[in-house]
Structure 1
Amino acid sequence: MALLGKLTLDLDPLRSSREFRYIFTARVVSLFGLGFLIVAVPLQVYEITASTAHVAAVSTVLGLTTFGATFAGGILADRYDRRRVIALARGCAGVAFAVLAVNAFLPDPRLWVVYLAAIIDGICGGISATVLMSVTPTLLPRNKMAAAGALMALTGDLGAMIGPALGGVVIASGGVGLAFALAAVTTAVTTFCITRLPPLPPPRAADESPLRAVAGGFRYAAGQRVIGGVLVCGFVTMLLAGWTVLIPEYAADVLGVGASVTGLLYAAPAVGAVLGSLTSGWTGTVRWSGRAVFVGMLLSAAGLVGAGATAAVAVTVIGLAAHGFGEAVADILRYAIVQKHTAEEYGARIAGVWSAQVTAGASVGAVVAAVVAALVPIESALAVYGGTGLVATVLLFVVLKRLRGFDEHAGSVADAAHAQVVMSGEKGFHDGSDRP
C-alpha cells in the first residue's frame, strides 16, 4: 500500500484549495477545445497549401509570438490583478478561434487568416500561461508543487489526448470549421470560469521598469545553476514538440490514413503523458530529481525514434505514447524544482522565462522538423528527428553537472554545489548506493 501511495496521483491540492480547483476546472475545459486545434490547424494548412513547410511556418509564427508574450505576461503579473489578465487573454483567444471558424466555412478559406489567428493566439496564450504559472505558488504550500505540477500537466494531457481524438472525428464528419467553432465555445466557458475567481492581486507593487524586470529574471536563472539547467533542459525537451509538423504528411504518405486516425496520432503522446501524470506520486519524494529529469528526456526522444521505426500505425502510436510519458515525467520534475526553489520575489519573472523557453523550443523544433523533412525521406523523418533529441540529452547530461548532481535533501539550490562536490568526491558519482 505504501508503494501504491507513492505512485498514485496526489490530489491534495484539489482538496485543500478552492481557487486551485477553479483553475484546474478552467484548464480542463479550455484544453479540450484547444485539442481540436492541434489537429484542425495543421490539417487545414496542409489542405490549402499541400506544404509541410507552411505547416511549420504557422507553428513557428505561433511559437514566436507566444515567446514574446511570455515576457509581457510576467510583467503584467507583477502589476495587475492576475484574474483579469487571464480572463482578458483567454477571451481574446476565443474571438480568434471564432474568426478561424468563419474563415473555414468560406468557399475559399484564406491562409493569411490562419496566420493572423496564430499571432493572436500566441499573444494571448503566452500571457495567460505565464500569469497562470505565477499564480499557482500563491495558492498552495511549496511542498505541494510537485503534486500541483502533476495535476496541471494532467489537465493538458487529458485535453491533448481526448481533444485531438475527438477533433479527428469532428473534422471527418463536419470539417475543420466545426472544430474551430467548438474551440471558441470551450474558450468562452473557460473565460467565464476564470471570472468567478476572487481577485488575484500581485504579491507586491512592481518597483522596476519592465525591461529591468525581464533582465532580472534571466540574471536570477543564470545565477542559480540548477534552475538555469532546468530551463535549458526544458528548451531541448520542447525541441521535440516539432514532431507535430511531420504528422500530416507522414499520416497521408507513409501510413496512408485519414483525418480520424491522424487525430489518434496527435492524441497518442497525451495517452502516455496521462499515464505519467497518474503514476507521478513518486516525483514528490524523489531525491536525485535532476537525474530523473534526464531519464524522462531520454525516454521522450527514444519514443519518437520508435514511432518512426516502421510504417505500422500501431508502432507509431506506441512510440508517440512513450514520447508523451517521458515528456510528462520530465516536465513534472522540472516544474517542481523551479517552483520549490525559486525565491518568491522572482516567481512571476521566472514564470516568464519558463514560458519563454518552452515556446522558443517549440518554435525552433518546428523549424528543425521542417528541415529534417526536407533533408530525409518522410518515412525516416520521425526517427531522425527523435535521434537529434537523444544526442542533445546526452550532451546536456555531460555538461550540466550541477543539475545532474542536485540533491533534494540539500534543501535549496544553493546547496547543489555542495551536493555535487560530495558526490564527485567522498561518495563518487558512479557509486550505485547514490542512485534513486
Structure 2
Amino acid sequence: MSETPAEIHPLKIADFRFYWMARFMAVLATMGMVVVIGYQAYDIARSDYGMSIREASLQLGLLGLVQFVPLALLTPVAGWAADRWERRTVARLANSIDMVVALALGWFTYVDGLTLPLLFLFAALHGVARVFVGPSMSAIAPNIVPPSSLPRAIALSSIAWQIGSVIGPAAGGLMFAASPSLPYFASAGLMLMATISLSCVRPVYPPPMEKKIHPIRQMVDGMRYTWSERFLLGAITLDLFAVLLAGATAMLPVYARDILMVGPDGLGQLRAAPAIGASVVALMLTFRPLRHNVGAKMLWAVVVFGIATIGFGLSHEIGSRVFGDARIGFLNMGAGMAVALVMLVILGASDMLSVYVRSSLVQLNTPDEMRGRVSSVSGLAISASNELGELQSGVAAAVLGPVGAVVFGGAGAIFVAAIWAGLFPELKNARTFEPQYRGKSP
C-alpha cells in the first residue's frame, strides 16, 4: 500500500520508535508480573491456607477487586493529570512506582515471606501505578504522529502490547519455575529501561487548561463529555461489558493447576496464547489497515470473542471426547491443552480486532484537550472489564465452578454484542474512522 505524503509510517518517526520501545518493555514487565501474581495467589490459597478449588478461585476474583478499587477512585485524577502536566513525566513517575512494587514483591518472594494480604496490598499498588500510566501513554501517541498515521500507530502500539503479552507470561512462568523471585526482579529492570526510553521522546505538553475552572470540575467535564457523546460511550462500554462477562483469563491459574494440570509453565503458555492471535492480527493491520465498515467488524469480533471463550471453557471436555488420552503432535501436549491454546489464540485475534477499531474511533473522535480525560475513562472501562471481570469470574466460579463460569461469560459477551448493536446504531453504521460523530466539547 503506497504512502501519501501525509501518511508517514509511524516507525519512520524517531519519537514513535522510542515510545514503542517504552510501551513494549513496560508491557513485557507488567505481563510477566501479572501471570506470577495470579498463580502465587491461587497456589498460596490452596497450599498455605488449605482452600478448596472454588474457594481459591474466589481469591482470584478478590485479587481483581483490590486492583480495581484504586483504579475506580483515581481514574478521574489520572485523566486530569495527563491533560494538565507534561505527559511523559506522568508516565515515568507511575512507571517508577510500579518498579518499586516489583522489587518489593521480588524481595518478599525471595525470603519466602509472601502472604495473601501482602500479595493483595502490592496488587493494589500495582493498580495505582497502572491507572496513571494508561491515560498519559495513550495521549502521547496522537501528538507524535500525524492524524492520518494514527490507525497504523495504534496497530503498531498494539503489536508492542501483544508481543509483550506473548513473551511476558511465558518468560514469567519459566523464570518462576527456575526461581520464584526472578520474574519480579526482571520486571523491575525492564520498567527502568522503559522509563529511560520514554525520556528520549520529545516533551508532550497538553493544550493549556482554563485556570479559572476548578480541577474537580475539569475531571467531571471529561466524564460528562464521554457520557454525552453516544458514539464514544457505545464504543467504550461495548468493551467494558463484553470483557467484564467473558473474563476467561481470570480462570487460567485454575485451568493450569487443577483442570488441564500443566503447572506454571503451562500457565505461561495459556497466558501467551491470546497475545499470539492478537499479534498476528495487529501485524496484518499495520500493512492493511481497516478502512470500511469498521463498526460492524468490531461488533462481529466481539461475537467471535464470546464463541472462543465458550470453546476455551469446554476445552478439557472437547479434548477428551475427540482425542481421548492421545498426545497432540510434535508438541506432545494433552488434547485439552491443545484445544485450550487454539481457542485462546482465536480469542486474542478477535479481541485485537475489536480493540483496534475501538481505540482508533475513540482517539480520532476526541479533541486533543480532552484526550487524557477521555483516555482515562476508556482505561477505567478496560480495567473494570479486566479486574471486575476477574471478580465476576471468581464469584461465578464459586457458584457454577470454573468451567461453568467461563462458558457463562462467553455467552454473555455474545448477548452484549447483540444488545449494543441495537442500543448504539452509531457503532454498526460507522463506515470509516473519520470523526463523523463528534459533538461539541464542554
TM-score by length of 2: 0.87
Query: Separation in 2 of the partners of 1:411 and 1:112?
Result: 47
The superposition leaves residues 238-282 of structure 1 with CA deviations (integer Å, 9 ceiling, x where unpaired) of 315632221112222211211111110011100111011011147
Structure 1 residue aligned with 2:381, among 343, 357, 370?
A: 357
Output the amino acid matched with 1:328: M
* 1:141-156 superposed matches below 5 A: 141-156=146-161
User: Which AA in structure 2 matches 1:13?
Assistant: P
CA distance in 1, matches of 2:383, 2:288: 24
Map 1:115-264 onto structure 2 (within 5 A). 115-175=120-180, 177-207=181-211, 208-239=213-244, 242-264=247-269
Which residue does the alignment assign to 1:339? Answer: 363
Shift of 1:344: 2.4
CA–CA distance in structure 2, aligned partners of residues 99 and 11 of structure 1: 43
Q: Shift in Å at residue 328 of structure 1?
A: 0.4
* Residue number in structure 2 paired with 1:79: 84
Q: Which moved more, 1:268-277 or 1:231-240?
A: 231-240
Query: CA distance change for structure 1 residues 409 and 354 in 2, over 3 Å: closer, same or farther?
Result: closer
Structure 1 segments (4+ residues) deviating >3 Å: 281-285
- Matched letter for residue 76 of structure 2: F
Tell me if the contact between 2:364 and 2:434 (Cα under 8 Å) persists in the aligned partners: no
1:237, CA displacement in angstroms? 3.6
CA distance in 1, matches of 2:255, 2:433: 46
Cα distance change, pair 300–206 in 1 and its aligned pair in 2 (3 A): farther
Match of 2:22 in 1: 26
Report SS of the residue matched to 1:376: helix
Q: How far has the Cα of 1:206 moved from its partner?
A: 4.2
Report the equivalent of 1:316.
340
Whether 2:34 is the aligned partner of 1:38: answer yes
Counterparts in 2 of 1:94 and 1:273: CA distance versus 1, 3 Å: same
CA change 1:337–1:35 in 2 (3 A) is same
Report if the CA contact (8 A) 2:308-2:346 is conserved.
yes
Contact in 2 for aligned 1:226/1:406 (Cα 8 Å): no
In the alignment, structure 1 residue 404 sits paired with structure 2 residue 425: no
Provide the residue aligned with 1:395 in structure 2. 419
**2:67 matches 1:62:** yes
Answer whether contact 1:79 1:206 (CA < 8 A) is retained. no
Opposite residue 302 of structure 1, the aligned amino acid is: I
CA distance in 2, matches of 1:381, 1:78: 39
- Give the one of 268, 291, 300 matched to 2:296: 291
> Contact 1:64–1:360 (CA<8 Å) still a contact in 2?
no
In the alignment, which of 12, 20, 23 is matched to residue 9 of structure 2?
12
Distance 1:283-1:300 versus aligned 2 partners, 3 A rule: farther
The amino acid across from 1:314 in the alignment is: A
1:377 is paired with a residue whose SS is: helix
How far did residue 107 of structure 1 move? Answer: 3.0
374, 386, 391: which one pairs with 2:398?
374
CA distance in 2, matches of 1:409, 1:99: 43
Give the whole-Å Cα distance in 1 for the aligned partners of 2:113 and 2:128: 27
Report whether the alignment pairs 1:413 with 2:418. Answer: no
Cα distance in 2 for partners of 1:189, 1:235 equals 31
| CA distances 1:284-312 after superposition (whole Å, capped 9, x unpaired) | 44222211110111111111111122311
CA contact (8 A) 1:66 1:122 kept: yes
In the aligned structure 2, how far is the partner of 1:64 from the partner of 1:22? 32
Could you report, residue by residue, the CA deviation over 1:298-334 in whole angstroms, capped at 9, with x for unpaired residues? 1111111111223110010011111111110000101
Contact 1:372-1:385 within 8 A present in 2 as well: no
Contact 1:66-1:123 at 8 Å conserved across structures: yes
Q: CA RMSD in A?
A: 2.1
Larger RCO (CA within 8 A; separation ≥ 6)? 2
TM-aligned CA distance change 1:43 to 1:292, over 3 Å:
same
Aligned length: 407
Q: Confirm or deny that 1:47 pairs with 2:43.
A: yes
Give 2:62's aligned amino acid. Answer: A
8 A contact 2:63–2:391 mirrored in 1: no
- Contact 2:64–2:389 (8 Å) recurs in 1: no
| Unpaired runs of at least 5, structure 1 | 416-436
Change in 2 beyond 3 A, CA 1:71/1:283: farther
Q: CA-to-partner distance for each residue in 1:104-152, whole Å, 9 max, x for gaps? A: 1123422222222112211111111111111211111212221111111
**1:79 is matched by which residue type in structure 2?**
R
In 2, Cα distance between equivalents of 1:14 and 1:206: 35
